[in-house]
Amino acid sequence: MPGKAGRTTPYYYKADGIREAYIRLGNESVVAPDHVLNQLLLKGMNLSYDALISSYDFRDFSFSKLRERYRMWTGHSMDDKLFESFEIRDETGKLTNAGALMADDSPIRQSRLFCTRWDGLDKKARQTSAQEWSLPFIRIVLNLL
């Protein structure tokens, strides 16, 4: 009978001086890889990667595409105070990771979006097309809308 999930993750197994976090993979338990361990740590702190504060200053980046889309959607201009409300920057003027991704010229160069189309209902079918975008995230989203 599965146990109830605890409030703070990850959960560690400690024995013989070794402390390791395990995850379920199918019907077995395996040592959590570093990237999964990082996700579990954030989850345990009730955070996500995009909410983390980056080293980038809000004043060094423009958000004209986001402001333009906001105006189109709402009919109002996007006041600077909304950037804190939407958690794009913090109260000290630092961008969150989400904010850094949404800047016109995003400093996060590894942001990419992959889209793949398959024949059939699963990946066993033949791949019919694939496309990758490496533009700043906000431009990728706007191109898809």
User: Tell me: the pLDDT tens digits for 68-119?
Assistant: 989 999 999 999 999 999 999 999 999 999 899 889 888 887 766 667 766 7
Of 62-71, 115-124, 130-139, the range with the highest mean pLDDT is 62-71
| Rounded distance between C-alpha atoms, residue 47 and residue 38, angstroms | 11
Q: What is the pLDDT at residue 134?
A: 62
- Other CB atoms within 10 A of residue 56 CB: 20
pTM: 0.62
Residue 13 has pLDDT above 90, yes or no: no
